[in-house]
Structure 1
Amino acid sequence: MGTEPRLGSKVFYKIGEVSQLTKLPAYVLRFWESEFSFLKPKKSRGNQRLYVQRDIETVLEIKRMLYEEGHTLEGVKRYWARRGRAAAKLPPREVAKKLRGDLQAILKIIESHSP
């Protein structure tokens, strides 16, 4: 089937690739999407899930919290809710700084795929 996907080597990843990267079954990823409102990969015209690097990082963080740290699903939901409220309270300058960093990371990905 070829080489295994590497995180950061593509812009979009299908659920099978994310399953390989995270070593989680696809049904777990679909279940987590139904449980965690913040985990919503885009869908293609053919209704295939298209994960970006940030989605995969979120999946890996959820996996760590559940499997390594022993949190419950409800505990992870509360953590992310608090995290979202904390981010909403950031001053505009900090939000701009974070956005700038995110955009620079996206630019690096795009540039790495340019001929």
Structure 2
Amino acid sequence: MPVPTLELPEIPAKRYFSIGEVSELCAVKPHVLRYWEQEFTQLRPVKRRGNRRYYQRRDVELVRQIRHLLYDKGFTIGGARQQLQENVAGDAPKSPARKALEEIRLELEAIIRQL
């Protein structure tokens, strides 16, 4: 039986969000957000006076993506980290060397399947 996904509120049109606001917008407790900052290098809120965190819209969207991978898709922290890195790498144009390596990898996988 599939688990229903949680309907999250729309992200308001603001420049910065406090950790409490992000917690509510993403249905994740503040201590989890602080932990994810250590585990996911892409998640870097701005820190101001008194070491207060201020998240930007892209950070909120990233937190929602991490939450989806971990809670809805069932990824581990390492798996979610890898998935995010692959998504970023997939968006970037591939260099000729990277294309050649990818072709070699595909050929090797085909050879392994034949064995």
Short-chain TM bin: 0.5 to 0.7
How far off its partner does 1:75 sit? Answer: 0.7
How far off its partner does 1:7 sit? Answer: 1.8
Q: Which has the larger radius of gyration?
A: 2
How far off its partner does 1:13 sit? Answer: 0.5
Find the residue that maps to 1:46 and give its secondary structure: helix
Q: 2:71 aligned with 1:67, yes or no? A: yes
Contiguous gaps of at least 5 residues in structure 2: 1-8, 96-115
Letter of the aligned partner of 1:49 in structure 2?
R
Percent identity reads: 39
Contiguous gaps of at least 5 residues in structure 1: 92-115
TM-score by length of 2: 0.68
Paired with 1:28 and 1:80, the residues of 2 have a C-alpha distance of 18
How far off its partner does 1:49 sit? Answer: 0.6
Aligned residue in 2 for 1:47: 51
Paired with 1:60 and 1:84, the residues of 2 have a C-alpha distance of 16
Report the RMSD for the aligned CA atoms in angstroms: 2.0
TM-score by length of 1: 0.68
Q: Per chain length, whose mean CA-contact separation is higher, i.e. which structure has more relative contact order (CA < 8 Å, sep 6+)?
A: 1
Deviation beyond 4 Å, 4+ runs, structure 1: none
